[in-house]
Every structure is written in C-alpha cells, then in structure tokens.
Amino acid sequence: MIDLNIESRKTLIYIAIAFAFSVAMRLIWVYQFHDFAPFHFNGQLMINTNDGYIWAEGARDLLSGTTTNPDAKEYFDKFHQLNDLSPVTSAASQLTAFFAKILPFSFESIILYLPVFLSSLVVVPIVLIAKDLKNLEMGFIAALLASVAWSYYNRTMAGYYDTDMLNIVLPMFLLWSIIWAIDTNKNIYLIITAVDILIYRWWYPQSYSLEFSFFGLILLYTLIFDRKNIFNYKLLAIMMFAMMNTDGFIRLGAVLAIFYIFTQKKFDKYIYYILALSIAAFFITGGFSPIWTQLKGYVFRDSVSAADKGLGLHFFTVMQTVREAGKIPFETFSNRISGHTVTFVISFLGYIYLLYKKPIMLFSLPLVGLGFLAYVGGLRFTIYAVPILAFGIAFLITELAVKMPTNKLKYLSMTAFTLAILYPNYKHIEAYKVPTVFNANEVKVLDKLKHIAGRNDYVISWWDYGYPIRYYADVKTLVDGGKHSGSVNFPVSFMLTHTQEEAAKMARLDVEYTEKVADKNLTVFSNIEQMTKEYGFHDTNKFLATLKDTNITLPHKTRNIYFYLPFRMMNIYPTVTLFSNINLMNGRQGRQPFFYVSRNFKDMGSKIQLGQNIFLDKRTLNLTLGKKTMPIRRFVKTQYSKDMKLHKSVQLVNFTSDISVIYMANYNTMLIVDEKTYNSLYIQLMVLENYDKNLFQPVILTPDAKVYKLKV
C-alpha cells in the first residue's frame, strides 16, 4: 500500500478538484444544447470546430482499417483513397482511434468529449509546479483559473475537437519537468523532459519554436548562473537530440542511448562533445527551418504572395482573411488571457513579482512570450500565456492571504478573491453559445451525397467546409482548412464567383491537374501556372479569358465532380471573391464586386430600408445608396412552396443598370448585387437554381445546401 505524506495527499486532492471543476465548466455547453435538434446528428451533438473533422476523418479511416472483418485490408484500401489527404498518420487521429477502440462509447461521443477531459489535464502540471515552489494553494487557484480562462476554454470546450486539447497541457508538463530538473538535478527529469518533447512533437509538429525557446533559455541560464553544473549540459544535449527534425523513432533511440550514457559517471568528461554533437545534429537535420517558416507565416506575412520562378504569378494570401492570425485590441487580448482587463493587469504584475520571488519561474518566459505574440500574430496564441499569468494572480492572492491574522480569514480571503477572478470567466462560458460547424440539415445533404458520389469523386466548395465535407460525404476536396494557400484557393474562388461556363471548365481542369500532379508526384507552384504553360500561354490572364471565349479542349474526365453550395456561404462571399479578383501577372486587386446582404430590412410604407442610408422605393424600384439614387436592373423574389420547390419571379426594370435586388423570402434576406455577382455560379445555382442543363445536373436541392453534378 502506498503511504502518501500530507503534502502528496493535498496535491492529489487539489488536482482532482481542479480537474473536476474544469470538466464541469465544459459540460455547460452540452447542457445548453443537449435537446437542440439542429445541432444533433446520428444521436449525438456535433462538434463545433471545422478543423476537428480532419482528425475525425483520419480516425475513422484508421478504424475502418483495423476492423476484425476478414476483408478489412480490401475495405481499408477502398475507404482510404490515394491522394484523399486523410491524416491517418497524425497523432490526434491515432489517439482518437485508440480511444474509440477501447471505450464503450460512440465515435461521435468520443470526438465530442475528448477535449473536455484531455484539456483539463492542464491542472496537473500547474499544481505540480506550485508544489516545487512550496505553494500548493497558489497552484490550486492558478489551475482553477487557467482551466476556464476565455481563450483556453474557447479552444478546448466540449466539441472543440482539435489539437489544442493538448497543446497547452504538453508544454506545461515540459515546463514542470524543466523546473524540477534544474531544481533537483535528478537524472529522471532528463528522460522525462526528452520524452515530453517527443510526445509534444508527435502531437503537434509545429512545437519547434517553443521547444527551441526553452532550450535557449536554459542555455542562457547555464552560461550566466551555473556554468560549472554538468547536469545542465546533459539536459541541453538530451533536449537537442529530442528536438532533431527527423523521424520520431530515430529521436527516441537517440534519447534512450544518450540517457544511458548520462547515467554513467565515466562519460561525464565527454559531455561537452556530446552537447556539440547534439547541436550539430539539430541543425544538420533542418531543425531550425520549421521555426523560420512559422515566423514568416504569422509575423512577416504579406497580403500577396508571388512565385520566384516560372511565370511569377501573384496570389492573395489566406493569412489576411484568417481571424485567428489577425491583430487584436488590448481589451480582447487581456480578456482572452485572464477573463477581464483588471484581472490581466493584476496577473501581469503578480507574475513580475513571482519572478522576483521565485526566479526559477523565469523558465516560463517562452510561454508568456508566445502568448503575447498575439498582439502581432493573432488571437490564437493567447492560450499559451493563460496558465502562466494565472500563476501571477494566484501568487498575489496567496501572498495576501498569509498576512491575514487568522487561518479563517486566510481561507476566506483566498476563497473570495478566487471566486472574483473566476466569475467573469464563468459568465463568458455561460454566454459562449457557439453553434456546431454544420446544422443537421446540411449534414443530411452530405450524408445523402455519400451514397451518390464515389470515394474518388471531388466535391467543390470553399475551404471552410472542406474537412466536414470529406468526413460526412467521404469524397475528395480541392481545398480545406490545411490546404488553402492563395494558389489553390484561386481556382475554387474563380469557379464560385464566375459564370457557369467558366466555372465548369475550371472545375474539370483543376481536378484533373490536381490528380495528375499527385499521381506523378510532380512539384509545381500552382495548377493555374501549369495549365497556362501546357495550353501554350505565357500570360495567365489570357489563358483565363479562353475559358469564356473559346471551346477549350478539356482534360480527359477521370471522375465525377460535384458542387456543394450551402446558404451559409453567403456570409463569406465577399471574402471568397478576393482570391480570384486579382491580376495574377502583377498582383493588382480588381474592383471588388458589389455584394450587400440585408437581414434586418424594414418596410417604411413607400420604401424599404435595407440598411443605414440604403433604401428601395417600392413604386419606382429605384435604389438609394447614401446620396446616390439609381434604377435597378431587375427585382427577383424567390420562395419555396410547401413541397420545398423553389419558385422565383423576375421583374425586369432597367437594362442600363448594373445592380439587381434579390428578395429571398424564406430566408428573410435581401441581396443587392452587381451584374457580375448576379451571374456567378453561386448566385445562379444556390440562390436562383438557374443551372445550365448542358453543364450541370441538380442532385440535392434543399434550402440549407444544394448539390450539383458537373456534366463536362
């Protein structure tokens, strides 16, 4: 029987309570929507993050390949197709498949609840770090706050099935092992630190920067304060071997071998040579390259990317449209880290004081630095600073408590202040009623499509929907949450925002070129550049013009292509246009098409107010935009009948006008669009169901989403 001392029992109790609290807070969202039918599919709440579907796809395919069915291999080969981008080798998919095999719950339940329990593990290293600092109460308070602070909760709540569920847990364990290694000089923490790096890299390959920051800080500490301590050089060396940019099993073998050497005193005289070897191995294997790539992607980003070779094409970069990579105001920044601006300021001051009183916490600076990168690199980084700043305010609370005259006042003050800092975070959780990625009706369309389309067929839609389309319909896509650079987004944007004829030709071209490049393992800058060259052009703009002016010879058809057009895409249509509304030869953006959506319009008798200073005269059908009044080209009304058939009436007004108004009665939506937008594939097929019978065939038509099959 294990005999735990009082401190160890106290540690376990604090961890258990903090873990239970974290889990309970994440179940609030489940309680709020447990009986809301539009968020359910297959008997369970759906997840609420797009990226989660990529890991779900990989786990699903792994499970299909490990079934006890005697035809399992054949089934797996059919289920996981060549070039389908299913991440069967990713850690998130593998861990999910493992849990799905051993737990008696549905797959949908596992991906819904996995972030609830895995992310709550962050309380463990927080309390253990506090144990080393001889202040368990600080660790308990910090664990409570960190586990539910805005940004950490937002990215680890129930249904937020993504790598973030361990992306803070693992570096916090790494920080714990580093602190204990430096404090105790025990060999066991050498292997714990190295293994944590291996697991962290396996789980999140982009962990290079943070690992390297920890290494640099330990090196700096050693050179300034502890140069004669050979243990520190051992720690640095084993970290370097764990951080090499090579296969995980090779790094594991190197780590185990080095750990054995470090446990033998006779090899201590070679430690400096081993450290030099580890650093050389790190750089030779390209260990610094991913770090620089990340910095360029998030900090030194441009709105337009250009190729250095070939035709020198220019593309609109996706980072300019990704909210999590954008700059954020101070209030948002502080709220996401601590729950309130006041809490953040006090936490920051408390953190500075903690560094003064407990210098060992200087090793937490990489996490704080990465969290503060949110100011220039985007809100997603704030979660890294959450647990460390939680230490700051927790330290102040405990410091104040020990000055109380009685134990009763001590614990009352800690309780009161803890509840005060938790309250704004709880209120945020209560109000944070995020929807699922798709609603049940949209998923039903994809589920139906799964039985119509083949597994090697392509479904074209915007990249936001790529992962869920692949998961529910089991098809291929051109773009998704991970494959959405400007060069791959251009053709999809072109299809959705240009005429049906242009879209049809581009769809066949892009799909067949995508398959050809993958099959032959070619390295090309973009499909568009490849098409331009192979069709004998040096100017991509001239090549694109042929899609509407001539009967261009299209590639041989190898598979079917479907367009998935959800109503929700209307919210991001202007963003979609950005990627193809550009001169590829010089990078100049074209004039942005006119597109205005009104859902709060008001009937004012003779006029309809569509927005601030935007009116439609009901009698003359003249449109007033600010001080400018103009006729409209046409007024269109769409409405569904009881049998859900779309009916539309078109009233032609003035052919000299470039602006049309579309009233979508069932959606309570008014659209104001220019002629180019009106003739775009998305408006014609999704909004109006005006499809060219020579090019498209309707497959599934519902108010929420529509699917068309390409005929060419």
- CA dist 689 and 400 (Å) reads 68
> How many distinct helices (H) and strands (E) make up the chain?
32, 18
Q: Say if CB 107 and CB 63 are below 8 A apart.
A: yes
CA atoms within 13 A on the CB side of 168: 34
Joined together, the tokens standing for residue 576 give 């979609």
CA-to-CA separations, 519 to 363, 515, 523, 699, in angstroms, rounded: 47, 6, 11, 29
Joined together, the tokens standing for residue 616 give 């439609």
Q: What is the pLDDT of residues 360-418, one digit of tens each?
A: 999 999 999 999 988 776 678 899 999 999 999 999 999 999 999 999 999 999 999 99
- Predicted confidence at residue 288, as pLDDT, reads 66
Nearest in space to 67 (alpha carbons), one of 109, 105, 100, 108 = 100
- Predicted confidence at residue 70, as pLDDT, reads 42
Would you give the DSSP letter of residue 245? S
Q: Which residues, in sequence order, are bridge partners of residue 204?
A: none
Taking the chain (712 residues) in runs of 10, the rounded mean pLDDT of each run is: 78 98 98 96 96 95 65 50 81 96 96 98 98 96 98 97 97 97 95 97 90 93 92 96 92 95 91 93 79 56 54 80 66 94 97 96 95 80 96 97 93 96 97 96 97 95 96 95 91 97 97 89 82 93 89 93 97 95 92 93 92 92 92 96 94 94 96 97 98 97 97 94
Q: Say if CB 566 and CB 705 are below 8 A apart.
A: yes
CA angle 514, 82, 456 (to 5 degrees): 70
Joined together, the tokens standing for residue 528 give 């568009």
Q: Say if CB 161 and CB 113 are below 8 A apart.
A: no
Paired sense of beta strands 705-710 and 669-674, if any: unpaired
Q: Say if CB 467 and CB 484 are below 8 A apart.
A: no
CA atoms within 13 A on the CB side of 708: 27
CA-to-CA separations, 256 to 191, 207, 388, in angstroms, rounded: 8, 21, 31
Joined together, the tokens standing for residue 372 give 């503060």
Q: Say if CB 670 and CB 644 are below 8 A apart.
A: no
Q: Which residues, in sequence order, are bridge partners of residue 635?
A: 651, 661
- Predicted confidence at residue 81, as pLDDT, reads 62
- CA dist 275 and 287 (Å) reads 15
Q: Which residues, in sequence order, are bridge partners of residue 648?
A: 638
- CA dist 153 and 311 (Å) reads 46
Joined together, the tokens standing for residue 288 give 């610094």
Q: Which residues, in sequence order, are bridge partners of residue 638?
A: 648, 664
CA angle 563, 480, 164 (to 5 degrees): 145
Distance of CA 541 to the CA centre of its chain: 33
| Residue appearing with tokens 């999704």 | 686
- CA dist 153 and 433 (Å) reads 12
Distance of CA 415 to the CA centre of its chain: 36
Residue 476 one-letter amino acid: K
Q: Say if CB 189 and CB 181 are below 8 A apart.
A: yes
3-state secondary structure 616-681: EECCCCEEEECCEEEECCEEEEEEECCCCCEEEEEEECCCCCCEEEEEEHHHCEEEEEEHHHHCCH
* pTM of the entire predicted model: 0.90
Nearest in space to 275 (alpha carbons), one of 237, 306, 307, 239 = 237
- Predicted confidence at residue 551, as pLDDT, reads 82
Joined together, the tokens standing for residue 271 give 């430690």
Nearest in space to 202 (alpha carbons), one of 158, 149, 242, 157 = 242
- CA dist 685 and 680 (Å) reads 8
Q: What are residue 522's phi and psi, to 5 degrees?
A: -85, 155
- Predicted confidence at residue 75, as pLDDT, reads 46
Joined together, the tokens standing for residue 687 give 């909004």
Q: Give me the domains of the chain, ranges plus CATH numbers.
A: 125-135+167-436 (no CATH), 440-578 (3.40.1380.40), 595-710 (no CATH)
- CA dist 239 and 233 (Å) reads 10
